[in-house]
C-alpha cells in the first residue's frame, strides 16, 4: 500500500465504534461521549506513526516499561496526557512522540485523525493522530518510559488473519480471552488494538 492511498483513506468519514469494536474486549461498555465527560476524564493524544523507511511501511509502537499502573508492560502508541502548554491534542501527540522515541515534530507529516477513545482503567479520553516520518531518522527511546521501540509492518495488520485472541488477567485474577494482534513475541490488545482496528478498517473495508 502506498502513502497516497493511506492519505486518501483518512479523508473518508471515520467508521468509529463499528470499526473500533472489532478488536474491543467483550467486557468493554459502549460509552457515549456525553457519558464519558461525566467521568471528568484526563485528555490525551497519541500518534499512530508510519515509517516508510525500509522495505515497506511500518507502524511504530512502544513497549512500555513495567511500572505500578494500569498499562504497565503493554504495547502502545507514543503519546500521553495533554499539558497546559499544548496547543491541541495533536501537539500533545507530537510532543510526547519526541519525548518517548526521539522523533521531532518537524520530521513528521500529520496526515489525519482517528475517532476518540475512552480508556476506563486510566480514565483517559484519547484522540489519535496519524502521522508519517518524512526523512531518515534515528530512534532514541526514553529509558524511563520505553522498554523497546517496535516497528511492525503495515502488511501484517492488513491481513485479516492477523486478528487473534489472547488471555489476560483483568479485575484482579480473572482471566479472559480478548481480541489481539500477536506479532512475534509482541501482543497488542486493549486501547491500542482498538485504535489500530479503526485505522485498518479505513484502509481495507471502505
Between the alpha carbon of residue 22 and those of residues 85, 138, 185, 186, 198, the distances in Å are 35, 34, 22, 19, 8
For the domain spanning 3-204, the CATH number is 3.90.79.10
3 state SS for the chain: CCHHHHHHHCCCCCCCHHHHHHHCCCCCCCCCHHHHHCCCCEEEEEEEEEECCCCCCEEEEEEECCCCCCCCCCEECCEEECCCCCCCHHHHHHHHHHHHHCCCHHHEEEEEECCCEEEHHHCEEEEEEEEEECCCCCCCCCCCCEEEEEEEEHHHHHCHHHEEEEEEEECCCEEEEEEEEEECCEEEEHHHHHHHHHHHHHHHCC
Per-residue confidence of the chain (206 residues) as pLDDT tens digits?
Answer: 899 999 999 999 999 999 999 999 988 889 899 999 999 999 999 999 999 998 899 999 999 887 655 546 789 999 999 999 999 999 999 999 999 999 999 999 999 999 999 999 889 999 999 999 999 999 999 999 899 999 999 999 999 899 999 888 776 678 889 999 999 999 999 999 999 999 999 999 86
Q: Where are the domains of the chain?
A: 3-204
CA–CA separation, 20 and 30 (whole Å): 11
Q: Report residue 165 as a C-alpha cell.
A: 485472541
Listed residue (73, 54, 53, 52) closest to 62, CA to CA: 73
CA–CA separation, 110 and 95 (whole Å): 13
Say whether pTM exceeds 0.85: yes
Amino acid at each position: 500500500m502506498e502513502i497516497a492511498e493511506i492519505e486518501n483513506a483518512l479523508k473518508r468519514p471515520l467508521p468509529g465504534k463499528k470499526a473500533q469494536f472489532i478488536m474491543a474486549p467483550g467486557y468493554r461498555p459502549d460509552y457515549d461521549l456525553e457519558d464519558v465527560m461525566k467521568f471528568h476524564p484526563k485528555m490525551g493524544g497519541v500518534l499512530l506513526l508510519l515509517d516508510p523507511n525500509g522495505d515497506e511501511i511500518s507502524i511504530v509502537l512502544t513497549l512500555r516499561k513495567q511500572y505500578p499502573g494500569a498499562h504497565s508492560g503493554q504495547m502502545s502508541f507514543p503519546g500521553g496526557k495533554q499539558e497546559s502548554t499544548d496547543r491541541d491534542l495533536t501537539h500533545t501527540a507530537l510532543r510526547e512522540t519526541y519525548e518517548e522515541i526521539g522523533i521531532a515534530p518537524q520530521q513528521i507529516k500529520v496526515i489525519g485523525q482517528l475517532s476518540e477513545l475512552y480508556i476506563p482503567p486510566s480514565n483517559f479520553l484519547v484522540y489519535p493522530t496519524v502521522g508519517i516520518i518524512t526523512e531518515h531518522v534515528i530512534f532514541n527511546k526514553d529509558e524511563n518510559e520505553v522498554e523497546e521501540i517496535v516497528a511492525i509492518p503495515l502488511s501484517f495488520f492488513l491481513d485479516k488473519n492477523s486478528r487473534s485472541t489472547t488471555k489476560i488477567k483483568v479485575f484482579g485474577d480473572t482471566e479472559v480471552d480478548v481480541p489481539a494482534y500477536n506479532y512475534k513475541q509482541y501482543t497488542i490488545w486493549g486501547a491500542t488494538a482498538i485504535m489500530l482496528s479503526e485505522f485498518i478498517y479505513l484502509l481495507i473495508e471502505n
